Structure 1
Amino acid sequence: MAVISMTDDLEDFESLLEPDFDAKQFGNDLLKITNNNDATILDLNTPLKKLNYDLHEVDSRIDQLINNKPLEMIELVYRNEHVNSTIVDELKPSLEYLNMSYDRLKTQVLDPYERARKVQLALSKVYQTSFLLRGALVYIHLSNKLNTASKIAQLNISTAVNVASLHYQLQITLEENENLKSLRKIKELEQKIVTPNKRELITFLSLQMSKECLNSIKIKSNKEIISQLAYSLFLLSPQEFASSINKIILSNVTVSSQILSKTINSIRMFPEAFKDVVEKGYNIYTLETILRNIKTDNVTAAAKSSVANKAHLSHLLSEYTSTRNIKAGPSTPRDLFWNKVSSNFKKDFEISVNRGGPVGKALLKNEDFIIDTIKQNMEKSSDSSDYQKYLDMMLGSVSIISK
């Protein structure tokens, strides 16, 4: 029934048969109608009477309908029974066929698929376990070889290069199966053998690199050894590789700056001293050439993890330059060397000129001599014609005497 007003005769029951009829809402509306909003006591008797009245009215109308139209009612009942019987009889074969089809589908497709899915899941777990165990066996084997090599032979360059290769293979193994790191045995080997040995090896390789690049004779005659040391160090740690190259360059910068600084008070020593500096610059050029010739195409991401999402690099020189912040200064070894040397010399040179006295006057008086010495020797700083920018740097370091 819709919302009932006081004047409603309660004879319209169509709303009770609507699909969206809500008994709670109907009862709530009936209570609101039969109660005053200002009343403090809820009247339930009146709505109950109205409902009872409706029930009696419905019963009365049903009796009246049966009494007035008995044949129509009987016919309607039989018609409904006939319709239901017809629907059941006609649908039964189809339903049985559907049941048979579903049973066949379940037997031939669904059940085998479910079994196959379970087998696939089991095989996947077996494969994962097998892959993990294989990786663990490889790691254990390599760490044992690493431990044996570190105990039997005294560490030398040849042994160090071989051991670095073992460390690189360990990195690849971990990279291919990161779940290995969760195994207790792998953690123990990492802590007790691999990590300590790697630290010792990095220190050794870095020290040997510095020794082999100590002077012109060594760096020219031991290019192959330097290549092996540089590549091995890079495989172990790109950061330590770059740091070692920086140390070699800055060591040469320090010596060169000291050599040039001493000539300021005795400018006639400048040509010989500048030749020594140019020779050291050539050593840095040789080091650059060595690094450029060491290809890194086959190095995996494990050895390049320090630089995220970087483009593919083809040789160690580009690997080195990629680790340097361009904003912080020069990027190549020669850039760094000549920039530092010219900057240090310029500072000392300008202080002496500005201070005046015999030293400052001698520097000003020998302007052509100093500039000609720089121009004549810088060509020997490399085997190519790209030395011009470094020549400009060195000329800029003494530019105060040209003003």
Structure 2
Amino acid sequence: MDNEHADPPAGSDTDNEYIDYELFTSPEFSPIEFCNSLIIGTNNESDVEIDFEASKQRVQFDLEEVEKLLHREAVEHHSELIQQASKMTAVEEIVDTTRASLSDVTASYQRLENEVLKPYNTALPIYRSLTKFHATSNLLRSLTWYLYLVRQLAIQSGTQDARSSVRAAKTFAELSRHVSNFPLLKNLKVVNDLEVAIRSKDPAMLQ
């Protein structure tokens, strides 16, 4: 059985060249495909049994070389690694502080939502309903007074004396002011019909 992967001398400069670090660090690296390639590379198609020993040795060798490389890098760049570790610690402290601040902000927002936003959202439809009810109530009150003035105008216009004419003129002026002060009255059919009667000066239509 042929073995295509002979181990290089330990500690030699060719160790790093023997290991394809780019392969292992590639985002597309697949352990399954790598194992398959090792098994195929260390066995022949004519072999009756598959030999896994050579593949295991290759993987073990790669692991040992990686560990040696990490140890060598740690020794040669000890100061730089300590500095980087210190920076990471500082960054972690900043992240922890930021996380605490975010937690406070989140808690404050939840309190605001519970104490202000939710009650406001609950009260808003009620407020709108009350506003509409209030507007309707005002319109009904203004309509009641309008109908009273119209009735008075009809009575005063039906009497043919000077005093009643003066009163009718005053009532008509007050009626005009009332409609101007409450323009929504013009949206009511009963008001529009009575306005036509007033313009025609027919007291019978005001009954």
Taking structure 1 as the reference length, the TM-score comes to 0.27
* Bigger relative CO (Cα 8 Å, ≥ 6 apart): 2
